[in-house]
Amino acid sequence: MKKLYYSILCLLVSAVGYSQTDAISYQAVILNPDAQQLPGFDVNATVLPDTDISLRFTIINEDGFIEYKEEHNLTTDAFGMVNLYIGQGTRLSDLRFTEVLWNGTPKDLLVEIDFYNLGEYVQLSAESLTFTPQAFHRDIIATGDLDVDGVATFNDDFVIQGETTINNDLEITGNTTIGGNADISGNVTIGEDLTVEGITNLNSELFVNNGSATELSGELNVEGQTRINSGIEITDEATIGGNVSIGGNIDISGDQLVEGDAEIRRRLTVLLPTTLNDDLFVGGRTDLDGLLTVDGFATIGDGIDVGGPVTIDGDLSATGRATIGAQLDVAGKTTLNDNLTVNAATSINADLKVDNGGIATLTGPLNVAGKTDINNSFSVNNASPTDLSGTLHVVKNAVFDDDVLIDGMLTVNNNLNLTNLTVIGDGGVNGNHIALFENTGGGGADGIAIRINNSTLSSGNNFMTFYGQGNYMAGRIESFDADSEMENMPSGISNSNSISRNQGIIYGSKGADYAEWLEKENPSEDFMVGEVVGVKGGKISRNTQDADHILTISLAPIVLGNMPDENRKNDFEKVGFMGQVPVLVQGEVSKGDYIVASGKNDGYAIAIAPQDIKLNNLKWVIGKAWSASEGNGKSLINVSVGLKSNELIEILENQEKRIQLMEVRLRFMENLSEKLKKIEVRVDAIDMN
């Protein structure tokens, strides 16, 4: 009789005993149903390697009815082997695999095969399923008592619908979750940590014995009165949201931080110096019998009455309004940091100087009969016009804090220093540019020079910054200083002068790849960002077969070369060559997977795990995934472009491991083939007898 297969059938609750999936592990070696012709004779019972087949599994109950049926479409490996899980195929029955009732009655497993996926199934085997392996299934019906003499291990939830009585010790070595109420009438001793995820209600007293410490990592909320019969020591911050009543003395040996109001209804005695780093508000009367020394600022929000003489040895700064009803005699310097309002005539018999860039505001006319020298700022506020019929000669700096409108030509014969200069307009110079700088010198004339007048430049110095709307920064040109960047280098490492002494610039951008404009093979074809393209002869298309390079359409490159003329830009696309580029990927992706062209010329890629990559995939590799995506949909994945030598070594090492594994399996198959030949000889002998 011609044998089509031999199999190893394992009934398990999934391949991994602790997962939530119910399945029966099935492994078989498929033998070629056709004889292999060799010179001089035919060979039967050879394996069927690398072939697409279909397997159909049917579970039949003791009455001959079909309880479950499914189909698997798969490919044999190089040794003709298949590995699958019954229960995870394409369901052909109304009943799901998880709904099969394993109640101890006999069940048979019918296995059928469709060679080469031609739609023609033939029977491989019909085997009885014993009850023992089915006992691992989640649904077990026991109508009587259940006696377990040994250890019982539950890898999933254990639900008890009725009352459970434990007459002896119960030891729980792992985590225990109680979803409902647990009433315990006796003592409970817990040798390890007790973790309570929800609210814990203690209807009676709580004792912490044996001098054991009690640590609360979160808040302690006490609704009622709390009595502490001994000392309480707070080694870290303590926040008290409500009132605290202290009937006795309180000694504070360290710093005390009070972020809210502190109300003291009786005497506060401070025996040592007290430092107040912020405001002190006194709502009532304050009597100071001794000397009050204020080294810093003192703010008095209301009136202050001083019955006797007041001596101020240093500066007196009034940041708010100060009203003096009588004569004010100031023998020394007076500093006014805010407005000085004079409602009556003011006579200044000597010089009036406004120093240190201070502002003097005059809301009315200023009549100056003689010469006026302004050695510093001169401000005209309230949008008041200032008309100068003659020449305005400014020897030093002139500061304009608002718009300056010049209807005629502005000629600057020397340096023009502009601070916080903003140029705003609708554009229009050479297209929509807001400004055009033109050097008419000819010959070796230069464009724009930018100088930062620092002896040492660093990454904190931006020569130029590019903004979008608001404060969005799209990129910048910044400096760097090799000496400052290499200060943290370990001692003993030599440093080339050509590196350590150089300063230069860095181009910063949101883009993360180097790209070039490449011409489309078909100018009318449109591409999306991240589409996979094949480059052949310097032109791109979605066809990746026999391509010189496999690349993708870039989104926002930091450098974009080979720029075409404006009138031909639609005939080109931005193609990422190096760095981080987006790639359209079909299916699930994990970080670190190799991203390769799908081979369907559809503009998409697929992900291959590092342990599954093969040498014949190398020519399709685009790069490695730096982001992930779940499910079988389409997603835009961030990919590091460029196959590095260490990644090639990793692929070759994985290939070598596969070859070694195949050699082991081949030796196993050779031994198995010898055994099969011996069995066939015995079977033939039996048939002859």
DSSP assignments along 306-343, one per residue? --S-----S--B--S----SS-----S--B-SS-----
Please tell me the pTM assigned to this model. 0.38
Q: Is the pLDDT assigned to residue 229 strictly greater than 90?
A: no
Average pLDDT over residues 374-393: 66
Is the pLDDT at 322 greater than 50? The verdict is yes
CA distance 435 to 421: 13
What is residue 20's predicted lDDT score, i.e. its pLDDT? 45
Give CA–CA dist 664/652, Å, rounded: 18
* Residue 530 pLDDT greater than 90, yes or no: yes
In angstroms and rounded to an integer, the radius of gyration of the C-alpha atoms of the chain is 44
Average pLDDT over residues 346-367: 65
What would the CATH number be for the domain defined by 512-643?
2.40.300.10
Q: How far apart are CA 32 and CA 34, in angstroms?
A: 5
- Give pLDDT, residue 571: 96
Express each pLDDT in 476-507 by its tens digit.
887 776 666 666 667 666 655 555 455 677 77
What pLDDT, on the 0 to 100 scale, is given for residue 507?
75
Residue 531 has a pLDDT of 97
**Amino acid at position 669, single letter:** M
Mean pLDDT over each residue of the chain, to the nearest integer = 76
CATH number of the domain located at residue range(s) 5-134 in this protein: 2.60.40.10
Question: From its phi and psi, is residue 558 left (phi > 0), alpha (psi between -120 and 50) or beta?
Answer: alpha
Answer yes or no: is pLDDT of 56 > 90. Answer: yes
Interatomic CA distance for residues 101 and 129, integer angstroms: 13
Q: How far apart (Å, rounded) are the C-alpha atoms in residues 645 and 286? A: 81
Q: What is the DSSP letter of 611?
A: G
Q: How confident is the model at residue 9, as a pLDDT? A: 38
- What strand order describes the sheet that includes 473-481? 462-467, 473-481, 503-509
User: Domain coordinates of the chain in residue numbers?
Assistant: 5-134, 456-486+497-510, 512-643, 648-689
Q: What are phi and psi of 591, to 5 degrees?
A: -60, 135
**Mean pLDDT of the 322-326 span:** 64
HSE-up of residue 672 (Cα within 13 Å, Cβ side): 20
Mean pLDDT for 427-455 is 77
- The residue among 259 and 561 whose pLDDT is bigger is 561
Residue 147 reports pLDDT greater than 90: no
Place of tokens 């220093």: 417
Backbone torsions φ then ψ of 131, nearest 5 degrees: -75, -30
Q: Is the pLDDT of residue 521 over 90?
A: yes
Backbone angles phi, psi at 398, to 5 degrees: -120, 125
pLDDT band per the 50, 70, 90 thresholds, residue 4: very low
Q: Which residue has the higher pLDDT, 28 or 200?
A: 28
Q: Which of 489-498, 574-583, 677-686 has the least mean pLDDT?
A: 489-498
Average pLDDT, integer, range 89-113: 91
Among the ranges 323-327, 364-368, 431-435, which has the highest mean pLDDT value? 431-435
Within 8 A by CB and 6+ apart from 553, the residues are 527, 528, 529, 530, 531, 533, 573, 574, 575, 576
**pLDDT greater at residue 326 or residue 521:** 521
Using CA atoms, how far residue 476 sits from 435, 520, 666, in Å, is 19, 32, 61
Rounded to whole angstroms, the Cα distance separating 538 from 577 reads 13
Least confident of 63-67, 85-89, 467-471, 654-658: 654-658
